[in-house]
């Protein structure tokens, strides 16, 4: 089996959650991007941006969502590893 880093697994989890937010019927996987777009709305209206800027904002929102979920998965991996090693002792 090919060894894969925990960071890569967390990044894949972040991509998976972002795809779930994008194509799924639920809104909760996209909360990091939703909060970011709400904050962006204080400075401008997304609908009125030019096409190039809309594309840049969407890419930024994807990066925010993937990064947030990857950090959450990585933190969960650290907590599970610490709690399972404490249970073994």
SS3 5: coil
SS3 50: coil
pLDDT single digits (tens) 19-56: 999 999 888 999 999 999 888 877 778 888 899 999 99
Can you state the angle between helices 31-40 and 51-88, rounded to 10 degrees?
140
Residue 17: the pLDDT is 95
pTM assigned to the model: 0.82
Q: Where are the domains positioned within the chain?
A: 35-72
The CA-atom distances, in angstroms, between 87 and each of 13, 74, 80, 82 are 26, 20, 10, 9
Average pLDDT over residues 57-85: 90
Provide the mean pLDDT of the chain. 89
The answer to whether the CB of 72 falls within 8 A of the CB of 9 is no
């Amino acid at each position: 089996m090919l060894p894969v880093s925990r960071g890569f697994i967390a990044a894949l989890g972040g991509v998976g959650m972002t795809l779930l937010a994008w194509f799924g019927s639920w809104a909760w996987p996209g909360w990091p991007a939703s909060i970011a777009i709400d904050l962006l709305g204080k400075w401008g209206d997304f609908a009125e941006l030019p096409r190039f800027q809309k594309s840049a904002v969407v890419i930024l929102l994807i990066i925010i969502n993937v990064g947030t979920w990857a950090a959450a998965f990585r933190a969960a991996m650290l907590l599970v590893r610490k709690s399972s090693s404490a249970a073994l002792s």
